[in-house]
Amino acid sequence: MPGGVFKDIKDFIKSGNMVNKLIVLNLLIGIGLVVILLFSGNMAYDRNILKYFLLSSNFYVDVYHPWTLFTHLFISIGILHFIVNMLFLYWFGNIIGDMIGDSKILPLYILSGLAGAILFILLSYFFPPAIETYISGVDSIIIGFAIASAVLVPDFSIRLILVGHVRLKILVIIFVIIEFLYAISSNNTIYFSYIGAGFFGWFYIYSIKRGRDISKPVNAFIIKLLNLFSYNKNQQNRNISVKYKSKSSSGIKTKVRKDINQAELDRILDKIRASGYDSLTAEEKEFLFLASKKE
């Protein structure tokens, strides 16, 4: 059972729109957090509970709560905060995904968040705020996505109501300035993480334009990590492998094999129509190539 679940998760990650999946994941984690608050008897902002999921400006707290380096990447504080963050993730994320591929989204999400977190921890250690701060990583991730989209297609035109067409780079500049000013005016050192995530967003697209795709090792690592929990991996691979027997094989076996191959071919073609050729795995591309040669 666990192997099948993790294989489904792996297949889910490898196909479809990653931006939508990240939004759903953020939503599910948010619901889980609400459930925890319900059991705590306090639906208000409960610092004592949230501090176990958010990143602290106190270096020693982060050392004792190392998991917050990752959990804070998926938590928004409050319904309005969640809605605004997910809207920006949807807009900027889909621009990036449409331009350079869906496989680039998840690495950008994780790495920009971690870059912001690391810089936040370091700068907070050397320049500690007057009051200990706990931050959500989603805010800095949105900054990373915004800058990445502006670096990728700076002259991309967006039509705004009552304004008309505006270039993406102008919108991003205004957005980033507003975010920084709000953080500074609130005496919130979260802008430390904005710097780290924003710089990584620029570096990520710059590297891709220079021919260095740093998303590939991240995606490969995630798939390998999920494979560790996929007990029936080898069996699944054998089921989808392509084998052509000689004419001496029995008619019944040949018919069954053709039915299986046709079903697999139909599944791959449906996947191409839904997500494009680049969404195929190496095995699926090989299957499609062999099937075309046979035709």
In the chain, what are the domains? 2-217 (1.20.1540.10), 241-294 (no CATH)
- Helix (H/G/I), strand (E/B), else coil: 131: coil
Q: What's the rounded Cα separation, in Å, for the pair 239 and 250? A: 19
What letter does residue 249 receive in the DSSP assignment?
Answer: S
Q: What is the pLDDT of residue 83?
A: 94
pTM of the model: 0.72
DSSP element (H, E) containing 165: strand 164-167
Contact 163, 133 (CB under 8 A): no
Q: Which are the contacts of 156, defined by CB distance < 8 A and separation ≥ 6?
A: 95, 149, 167, 168
Q: What is the pLDDT of residue 246?
A: 45
Q: What's the rounded Cα separation, in Å, for the pair 75 and 261? A: 43
Q: What's the rounded Cα separation, in Å, for the pair 219 and 124? A: 31
Question: Mean pLDDT of successive 10-residue segments in the chain (295 residues)?
Answer: 59 69 92 80 63 90 93 90 94 92 93 96 89 91 96 88 86 93 81 94 94 86 76 51 47 48 73 68 72 57
Q: What is the DSSP string of 25-83?
A: HHHHHHHHHHHHHHHHT--S--HHHHTTTSEES-HHHHHH-TTHHHHGGG--SSHHHHH
User: How, if at all, do strands 157-160 and 134-135 pair?
Assistant: unpaired
